[in-house]
């Protein structure tokens, strides 16, 4: 089984744990780091709506909590008709820990996939270099 298929299975499994009673939109995210470890996240909504967190943010938090920093591949799956693109905030969060060439697969539960990259998701990304000399 390929690394990407492993990520898909893991993302589908963690999506089952999503807490999304307000949107009804369940999302799972799986991240493989450069060490080969896999970290998972699902969306966690809150009755105070802005306090909810995305699946990608959860997976990134788990990665950082485990002492890892470098994303090699990411996979996001949702119960949408078409592969759902990450929100703007999650694109920036991914870019913090991933090079532009890192593959990101967006998928539906039914198996449709769109393969893209961090750079394609966030062209012209703000980065640490933009603060040099400030
Ligand atoms: N959501 C994610 O978890 N990741 C995405 O890439 C898109 C949106 C969540 C946030 C919220 O809980 C629900 O989907 C509806 O926006």
- In the structure, how many helices (H) and strands (E) does the chain have? 4, 5
Confidence of residue 26 (pLDDT cuts 50, 70, 90): very high
Asked if pLDDT for residue 1 goes beyond 80, the answer is no
Domains of the chain: 5-131 (3.40.140.10)
Q: Which position has the higher pLDDT, 87 or 1?
A: 87
C-alpha count within 13 angstroms, C-beta hemisphere, residue 84: 21
**C-alpha distances in Å from residue 2, one per residue of 5, 6, 7, 9, 49:** 5, 6, 9, 11, 37
Q: What is the dihedral of CA 119, 4, 31, 10, to 10 degrees?
A: 150
Would you say the CB of residue 41 lies under 6 angstroms from ligand 1?
A: no
Q: What is the pLDDT of residues 40-96, one digit of tens each?
A: 999 999 999 999 999 999 999 999 999 999 999 999 999 999 999 999 999 999 999
| CA of 114 relative to ligand 1 center, distance in Å | 17
The model carries a pTM of 0.96
Q: Is 56 a catalytic residue?
A: yes
């Amino acid at each position: 089984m390929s690394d990407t298929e492993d990520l898909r299975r893991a993302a589908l499994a963690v999506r089952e744990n999503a807490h999304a009673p307000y949107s009804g939109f369940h999302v799972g995210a799986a991240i493989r780091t450069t060490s080969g470890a896999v970290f998972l996240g699902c969306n966690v909504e809150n009755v105070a709506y802005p306090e909810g967190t995305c699946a990608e943010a959860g997976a990134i938090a788990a990665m950082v909590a485990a002492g890892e920093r470098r994303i090699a591949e990411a996979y996001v799956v949702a119960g949408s008709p078409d592969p759902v693109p990450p929100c703007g905030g999650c694109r920036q969060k991914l870019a913090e820990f991933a090079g532009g060439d890192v593959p990101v697969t967006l998928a539906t539960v039914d198996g449709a996939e769109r393969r893209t990259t961090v750079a394609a998701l966030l062209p012209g990304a703000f980065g640490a270099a933009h603060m040099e000399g400030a």
